[in-house]
Amino acid sequence: MKARIERLRAKLFERGLEALIVVHPPNRRYLTGFTGSAGIVLITENEADLITDFRYETQAMEEAPEVTVDIAAAGEFFHRAAKRLGARDVRKVGFEAAHLTWSAYQALTEAYAAEWTPTEGLVEALRMIKDAEEIARIRAAVDLADRAFTHVINAVKAGVRERDLSLELEWFMRRNGAEGIAFPTIVASGARGSLPHGVASDQPIGRDTLITLDYGAVRDGYVSDITRTIAVGEPPKELLAIYEIVRRAQEAALRAVRPGASAKDVDRAARAYIEEHGYGPRFGHSTGHGIGLEVHEGPAVSAKSEAVLEPGMVITVEPGIYLPGLGGVRIEDDVLVTETGAEVLTTSPKTLIVAG
């Protein structure tokens, strides 16, 4: 954690800032190790403080031994931060523009006269490059998701509700060491397959259809995010055709992942293939995103992304085609950018599985 804080300080000083107030929970955890639900972090030149409340006193001491834990009344965190800034006579203070609420901003500015400066993505930029321990945690989360896929296939058959499949996935992952699921599990069958984020419903799985499963585990704070589309019976020809197009588009994008590549070129590889086959307008989302402490973090893998891939980044590659009224296909892998290329972490099969 100390090295992370040092890297953050270097970024602050480059910008002429003397301090940063961190409120976004994943950033707070990244810098301190603290997993509680309430608290803010104050980084200055020589100090790093975690201000939290009575409920977390013991936990904060245990989880965040490298920073100073300061216990304040709930609702008083910003006043305490202001007091600490005043004691150090620090005046150029950054805050996280995307995360600090308006009321917290008012509390801060009323409590302390400083040069309050909005910052964007300072900690998030550090989080994009994973260290060995973070990669190990992501691998463990991916392994749970892959094993859950093998498990759930046995439960897929016509008549079973989407919600029952989501429960099988969640139960399996939690039974085997996940502390939670990464986001509400998507099980989108039949025509619902055209909903890119079709969270599992009470709808029973039909016959001769496709089902998209998109889910992930949380392991030691880090997530996986995998999508597989599988068949029950004999789906309509057009769905089988788009399955192969998505599969090849996904493989083309995977081949584009390497250090030094532009994230937008990875997006282009998938999108160009889908456009060549006439389905460009039906692929309306980006090709991927970073994963880590959050399920959507940097770098964006989109047509407009400015990111250049670097070793240690972990991204998803997840093109899809969605046909309203008929169904849809998405295939999503989690990929580590290595020194020499890429390692696809997810190992679940991508040839079309016919279940049930």
Give the footprint of ligand GLY on residues 136-175 (CB under 6 A): none
Q: Where are the beta strands (DSSP E) in the chain?
A: 19-22, 40-44, 48-52, 68-71, 92-96, 115-119, 180-181, 186-189, 209-215, 217-219, 222-223, 226-232, 288-290, 297-301, 314-317, 320-323, 327-330, 333-337, 342-344, 354-355
CB of 339 vs Mn ion, minimal distance in Å: 24
- Nearest residue to 28 via CA among 19, 41, 11: 41
134 lies in the binding site for ligand GLY (CB under 6 A): no
Radius of gyration of the chain (CA): 23
334 lies in the binding site for ligand GLY (CB under 6 A): no
Cross-strand pairs, 209: 232
From 124, 168, 267, 318, residue interacting with ligand GLY (rule: CB under 6 A): 318
Tell me which of Mn ion, ligand GLY, none is bound by residue 183, counting a contact when its beta carbon lies within the kind-specific cut-off of 5 to 8 angstroms: ligand GLY
In b/e form, how buried is each residue of 136-161, taking b as 16+ CB within 10 angstroms? ebbbbbbbbbbbbbebbbebbeeebb
From 18, 53, 124, 214, residue interacting with ligand GLY (rule: CB under 6 A): 214
- Nearest residue to 219 via CA among 306, 147, 327: 147
Give the footprint of Mn ion on residues 327-356 (CB under 5 A): 332
Nearer to ligand GLY, 9 or 228 (CB): 228
Task: Show the site string, 284-323: x = touches Mn ion by CB under 5 A, - = not.
Answer: --------------------------------x-------
170 lies in the binding site for Mn ion (CB under 5 A): no
250 lies in the binding site for Mn ion (CB under 5 A): no
**SS3 at position 2:** helix
124 lies in the binding site for ligand GLY (CB under 6 A): no
From 168, 225, 294, 297, residue interacting with ligand GLY (rule: CB under 6 A): 225
CB of 289 vs ligand GLY, minimal distance in Å: 6
Nearer to Mn ion, 107 or 223 (CB): 223
- Nearest residue to 188 via CA among 224, 214, 152, 207: 214
Extract the tokens encoding 1: 């954690």
Residues at the contact surface with ligand GLY, assessed by CB under 6 A: 183, 186, 214, 225, 318, 332
Residues at the contact surface with Mn ion, assessed by CB under 5 A: 214, 225, 227, 316, 332
